[in-house]
Amino acid sequence: MSQAQQLVDAVLESPTKWLAVAGAVSLVTYTLYLVFLSQYFSSFYNLPGPPSAHWFWGNKGDVLKGMMRSQMLWGDTFGRTYRTHSLLGNLEATTSDFKAITYVLGHPDLFIKPKGPNLLLSDVLGKGLVTVEGHTHRRQRRVLNPAFGWIQVQGMAPMILDKAHMLRRRMQRLLDDAPEPGVRQMEMIQQLSDVSLDIIGAAGFDIDLHALDDKPSVLREAYTKTQVIGGKMSPLVMLHLQMPATRMVTPNNRKRIVKASRAAASVIVADRKRQLAAEGTSLEKATPGKDVLSLLLKANMASDLRQDQRLTDEEVVDQIATVLFAGHETTATAMTWCLYLLSLNPDVQDRLREELQGVYEDDPDYETLHGLPYLDKVVHESLRLEAPVPFSSRVATSSAVVPLDTPVRGRNGKLITELQLSKGDLIAIPIAYINRMTETWGPDAREFNPDRFDRTDKRANVPGVWGNIMTFLAGPHNCIGHRLTIIEMKAMLFVFLRAFAFEIPPNKPEIGRTWLVIQRTIVVGEEAKGPQMPLVVRAL
C-alpha cells in the first residue's frame, strides 16, 4: 500500500482528528503569514517608521506605555507620515499631513471609524451621533445641529455661570473648614467633574443631576456606572480594540448596566415629549426650552424634515448618553489640564486674573466673556497643548488615493507623494502631535504660551473646525459641542480665578497621563488611585 493510500485511509478512519490537525496547521500558517509576510504586501510597507518591537503586539506596547510619548517620538523621528506595526504584523499609517487629513476627514463615507473602538463606545452610547456613520450620521447631525449653534450656546451662559458659582461656594466651605483657614489641597478632578456633569444635565436636558449637592439622581447614578472614558488602556482593552472578535470570549457586564441607564433616559424623553406637547396643540407647535433635548425633539418634528430623516425614539434616547459622554468628561478633563497649566505658570494665572477682575459684574453675559482677549488666548492655548482626546483614526471602506502635501522619502529612497490605500487600511491622526508640531507652532510649541496667538504663522493651515487646532477635529464628524466646551471653560475660569489662586502642592507630585478615549491626569507612583489632580487652592 502506498503512503498516499495510507494517509487517505487514516483520514477516513478518524476525520474529526484530521480536521482538527488541518485547522491547527492552517491557523499556524496564517499566523506566520501575518507576522512575517503580510507587511510586505501592505500599502504602507514603503513608508518610514519604527521597527516592530514584538512579534504579536508590534508597536502597540509602546503606545500602552505612553500615547503622548510615542506620538512625539515617532513624529519627530519619522516626519509627517509614517507607518507602525499593529498586532500580528499588520501595518498602520499615521499622518499629520494637513492635505491628507483634510481628504480623509472630508470623505466620511470612504473613511469610517475602526470597528473595535466603535464597538467599545457603542456598548455605552448605542446608536448615537458619536458611533454612527454614513446616512445615519448625516440624518442625526442635521437634527442635532440647531441645538449646538452659537445662539443656543449664548443662551446657556447664565446657567453655566450659576453652576460655576455653586462649585465656588462649595470650595469656599471646604476652605473655611480647613486646618489653615483659607488654604487647602483639593482633588480638582472630582470638583470639576461634578460641575461639568451638572452643567451638561441642565444644558442637555434641563434637569438637575445633583452632582454638586450630592442629592439622589437616577440618571446620574446610571450614567456614572456606564462610563467607559474613565478607564485606562490595558493589554486586554488593546486586544479588544485591535481584534473585536476577542470581546466574545471575555466577560462584559456592561450591557446590564447600560440597560438601566437607557431606561432612565427613556423616562426623561417621554416626560419631555409630554411637557412640550402640553405647551402647544402639537409637539411641532410647542415652544421648546433652551436645552438640547427640547431643541432636538422640536427639530425632529419640523415640517420640512422628511419622515425618513427623523430620529427614532431609540435614537433620541441614545443621544442622551452621547451628550453626557461628549459634554461631561471631555470638558472636565480640559478644565483639569487648564488649571494645572495655570498652576505651573503663576505669571499667566496672575495676568488672567487681572483681566477677569476688571469686569465689574459677577455674572457677565456671553458677549462680555467672549470679548476678554487674554481669557480667549488661555483657553485656546490650553486646548491646543492638552487635547482631551489625543488621537483619532479612520479605516478605508474601499481602495483610495490620499494626497500628501509634504512628500515622504520611502524606504526604497523614492519620494512618496500620495498614499495608495486598500480596503481595510487604517490611518491614524495624531491630534496631540499636530497641536505640538514645531514647524507649525514654532520652537516653543510644547510650552504653555497664550501669547503665541498674537502671531500670524503656519497655524492657519491646520484643518481643525475651531481655532486652527485639531482638538475638535474637522470635517462632517467634527465635535458638535465644541462651542459649549469653550464657553464652559471661559465661565468657570472667570468664576474660579476671581475667587481663588491655584498652586502646585509643596511636594510637587509628578503628573502623568492615563488614557482610553480621554487623556486624563494621574500622579506618577499613585497610578492605582486612578485619575488625580491635587492642587493647592487659596482663597483671595
Q: Which residues are annotated as a binding site?
A: 479
Listed in sequence order, the DSSP H helices in 33-106 are: 60-65, 67-78, 98-105
In whole angstroms, how large is the CA radius of gyration of the chain?
Answer: 26
DSSP code at position 489? H
- Could you identify the residue written with the cell 491646520? 462
Evaluate whether 336 touches 189 at the Cβ level (below 8 Å).
yes
**Nearest in space to 322 (alpha carbons), one of 85, 132, 106:** 132
Written as nine digits, the cell of 478 is 467634527
Q: Which residues fall within 8 angstroms of residue 127, CB to CB, at 6 or more apart? A: 136, 314, 315, 318
* DSSP letters spanning 363-424: S--HHHHHT-HHHHHHHHHHHHHS-SS--EEEEESS-EEEEEEEEEE-TTS-EEEEEEE-TT
Evaluate whether 476 touches 102 at the Cβ level (below 8 Å).
no
Q: What pairing do the DSSP bridges indicate for beta strands 91-95 and 426-429?
A: parallel
- Could you identify the residue written with the cell 479588544? 240
Count of residues in the chain: 540
**Nearest in space to 244 (alpha carbons), one of 124, 116, 425, 88:** 116
Please state at what angle helix 188-205 crosses helix 313-327, rounded to 10 degrees.
150
Q: Which residues fall within 8 angstroms of residue 86, CB to CB, at 6 or more apart? A: 58, 59, 60, 92, 242, 426
Taking the alpha carbons at both ends of the chain, their separation in whole angstroms is 98
| H/E segment holding residue 519 | strand 519-523
Q: What residue numbers does the annotated binding site for heme cover?
A: 479
Written as nine digits, the cell of 30 is 496564517
DSSP code at position 44? T
Cα angle value 301/262/208 (rounded, 5°): 80
- Could you identify the residue written with the cell 495510507? 6
Instruction: Count the Cβ atoms, other than its own, within 10 Å of residue 109.
Output: 13
Helix, coil or strand: residue 211: coil
In the structure, how many helices (H) and strands (E) does the chain have? Answer: 21, 12
Q: State the Cα torsion 28-34-40-42 to the nearest 10°.
A: 150
In whole angstroms, what is the distance from residue 90 CA to residue 243 CA?
12
In whole angstroms, what is the distance from residue 217 CA to residue 526 CA?
31
Q: Does residue 54 come out as left (phi exceeding 0), alpha (psi in the -120 to 50 range) or beta? A: beta
In whole angstroms, what is the distance from residue 436 CA to residue 438 CA?
6
